[in-house]
Structure 1
């Protein structure tokens, strides 16, 4: 594995000599730059050939936010996933920032590069039945209590749309808001786990990740529904 990495470092060095435009490279380098990049490992030594490659290519280690370690296995935590860029990249994307996202089905954190671009949606909101509601544990009971067979079809639909809109706001909530809140809790838990692993915190992380799985399923249904609507 170390020999394969050296081939990669040589390739990147050769590639960098051909690039004069903005350049960024991201991923799991499976190597560390400093002693601080490892915790709980038998060997805390950085890989000098990796350091040499970064120096020879003239690359800068991108700033990041969220926990330092990007890979965790048992009591071991290592900063393996990172991003590098050349000086020309900084000239064009001065506010570049790497986000260490939450771990889910992998022992690695996904990494996301932000260049400070923002996209806003001004689409008006109209009531629509959201198929993802069916994943909520209380939705079946809500339908049974609020679908009025005594009314005509048009009246029943009108009544249900009103109470469903209120239920969506008060109970189901905004997917975006719920996702942001849940991911913030998971980040806090995983920060604690990076410092010290306890059985209770591991169980809490597993519980929150299951909840996030359900929420992401709901989000996927939403986007599929929008794409066909």
Structure 2
């Protein structure tokens, strides 16, 4: 077993729906503590990269889509307004996660 790198807990993980599932799925009562911790760390590292990775890229993409909607000549139509609300919600969630990274 290779040595573990230092583990860094991210507060933003607590706000994500899948976090508890990763804890439960990574833990086995049949294994020793060291093995459980190593498995947990590997799973969380992969999960973190897939869920929270590329935050700046996601934020830039959301902002561009919002700007496109707001500049559209068809903007007042309800489907664009619903899409704008959905994108705003995604952006707010992303910004909250980004803010929690500093704690």
The residue correspondences of 1:21-60 to structure 2 (distance < 5 A) are: none
Q: Is the 8 A contact 2:22 2:40 kept in 1?
A: no
Q: Which has the higher strand share?
A: 1
Mapped partners of 2:69, 2:26: distance in 1: 38
Looking at both structures, which has the greater relative contact order when contacts are Cα pairs under 8 Å and sequence separation is at least 6? 2
Q: Which has the higher helix share?
A: 2
After TM superposition, the runs of 4+ consecutive aligned structure 1 residues lying more than 3 A away are none
Q: Cα distance, 1:176 vs. partner?
A: 2.1
Q: How many residues align?
A: 97
Mapped partners of 1:176, 1:148: distance in 2: 35
In structure 1, stretches of 5+ residues that fail to align are: 1-125, 225-229
SS in 1 for 2:68: helix
Cα RMSD (Å): 2.0
In structure 2, stretches of 5+ residues that fail to align are: 1-5
Mapped partners of 2:27, 2:52: distance in 1: 18
Q: Deviations over 1:176-201 (max 9, x none)?
A: 22222222222222222xx2311011
TM-score normalised by length of structure 2: 0.76
TM-score normalised by length of structure 1: 0.38
**Which structure has the larger Rg over C-alpha atoms?**
1
